[in-house]
Structure 1
Amino acid sequence: MGAVKTKRMPRAVREQQMLDAAVRTFGQRGYMAASMDEIAELAGVSKPLVYLYLNSKEDLFTACIRREAKALVEAVRAGVRRELPADRQLWEGLRAFFTHTAQNPEGWSVLHLQARTHGEPFASEVTAMREEIVAFVTQLIVVAAREAHRDPDLPEREVAGLAEALVGAAESLAAWANATPGVTARQAAATLMNFAWAGLGNLMESRPWQPPAAATGSATAQ
């Protein structure tokens, strides 16, 4: 077979076309199993052109991670309206997150599964994205605390821990929702909101859960 014929189009458009094909291939087949030949064929270009634009399989995968991470962060940020009450802000952010991951399952697979399991430099790219989302969620929780108390007294470390827990739960729930037929983004967001907001609400009202008292004389009690 001869080389794939390509139509003239702007480099940026052609590159996005290649990234679309790469995300689909990496997301469905995994990083190791995906081939540059397969990606080039799906994009409708020659393999040398893919190498010309994106250098190597590693660089192509990194470009996919960065594009999908940026799109996810932007979707979550765009979903939150600052004029809304704190619970609505968190709800809208969660719904935007689950909607985006449901509409882009291959992209979510690249971020949540592939990038994390193939070492550096891929894992660092996902870590940077996750840190940005955690920081954003931390601010949402801070807003909730300020609404509940004129002088909020939630320790910064505790707020950061709550944000980490919430983001981790959202990641796991998104993977489950995408693999479970019939679960909508709205249902997934409502599930996590019901789980998280009840606890946050108690915390904001100074009614935190307390662990049981340690048994007297227990050497292992913490």
Structure 2
Amino acid sequence: MGAVKTKRMPRAVRERQMLDAAVRIFGQRGYTAASMDEIAELAGVSKPLVYLYLNSKEDLFTACIRREAAALTAAVRAGVRQDLPVERQLWEGLRAFFAHTAEHPDGWSVLYLQARRHGEPFVSEAAAMRAEIVAFVTRLVAVAAREAHRDPGLPEREVAGLAEALVGAAESLAAWANSTPEVSAHQAASTLMNFAWSGLGSLMGGKVWSPPPERDHGDRPPAPLSSP
């Protein structure tokens, strides 16, 4: 009798297996330390097949970044219902963000740590994902702040700065939460919401903190005398 032939696997399924393996290896070992041999073994394929499908280690890593970025942005968008008040939209978006990063720690490591450490073109790929999330949050903050103030002319730079600060805090908190097993995604989202919405709520209520006036160089108090 002849040898039994295995069923040919569709390319999309095989490629997904390779990317799953690559994300795990890159996320846990880092881009430099990861080897194509390890990735091929974990995916259950030959190394030549990985190269045939994804060309090179650089192309494979880029494909991982793109896939994980698309999954994260899709999760955040799917978590936000447009019919909810802005406060609830922000909460649901944060909860979706932290739930996804907690469920996919290797993917988050690829996006937040590895892509940023190894220069171009990886930095640009991760930055594109971040810019999309910042733009999404900017729209939420802009709607909330402008509705509260009934001021459609609220400076765009101020709104953009708030969104950048919020996304930056979410990124750092996700990295911390993923390294702290006792912190759940719900707790991380609650922490950031309490921190962010307290400030945003004050801003929307017209309670804006103003910095003290800057001194001119000639108005500075004299420096204390040095001890002998």
TM-score for the superposition, normalised by structure 1: 0.93
Shift of 1:213: 3.3
The residue that corresponds to 2:74 in the other structure is 74
Q: Which deviates further from its counterpart, 151-160 or 185-194?
A: 151-160
The residue that corresponds to 2:207 in the other structure is 207
Task: Give runs of aligned pairs for residues 167-178 of structure 1, distance below 5 A.
Answer: 167-178=167-178
Aligned AA (2:62): T
Shift of 1:143: 1.5
Shift of 1:136: 0.3
Paired with 1:40 and 1:34, the residues of 2 have a C-alpha distance of: 11
The residue that corresponds to 2:166 in the other structure is 166
Q: Which runs of 5+ in 1 are unaligned?
A: none
Residue 61 of structure 1 aligns to a residue whose secondary structure is helix
Larger Rg: 2
The residue that corresponds to 2:94 in the other structure is 94
Shift of 1:15: 0.2
Paired with 2:105 and 2:27, the residues of 1 have a C-alpha distance of: 8
RMSD: 1.5
Paired with 1:98 and 1:184, the residues of 2 have a C-alpha distance of: 9
Shift of 1:7: 5.2
The residue that corresponds to 2:225 in the other structure is none
Contact map agreement 1:145 1:152 (CA 8 A) in 2: no
The residue that corresponds to 1:18 in the other structure is 18
Contact map agreement 2:148 2:204 (CA 8 A) in 1: yes
Q: Which deviates further from its counterpart, 147-156 or 64-73?
A: 147-156
The residue that corresponds to 1:60 in the other structure is 60
Contact map agreement 1:6 1:45 (CA 8 A) in 2: no
Shift of 1:6: 7.4
TM-score for the superposition, normalised by structure 2: 0.91
Contact map agreement 1:105 1:178 (CA 8 A) in 2: yes
Aligned AA (1:122): F
Residue 116 of structure 2 aligns to a residue whose secondary structure is helix
The residue that corresponds to 2:220 in the other structure is 218
Contact map agreement 1:86 1:147 (CA 8 A) in 2: no
Contact map agreement 1:17 1:43 (CA 8 A) in 2: yes
Task: Give runs of aligned pairs for residues 54-203 of structure 1, distance below 5 A.
Answer: 54-203=54-203
Change (3 A) 1:6 1:202: farther
State the identity as a percent: 80
Residue 165 of structure 1 aligns to a residue whose secondary structure is helix
Whether 1:35 aligns to 2:41 is: no
Contact map agreement 2:146 2:154 (CA 8 A) in 1: no
Contact map agreement 2:174 2:188 (CA 8 A) in 1: yes
Pairs aligned (count)? 215
Change (3 A) 1:46 1:6: farther
Change (3 A) 1:6 1:102: farther
Aligned AA (1:107): G
Q: Which runs of 5+ in 2 are unaligned?
A: 222-228
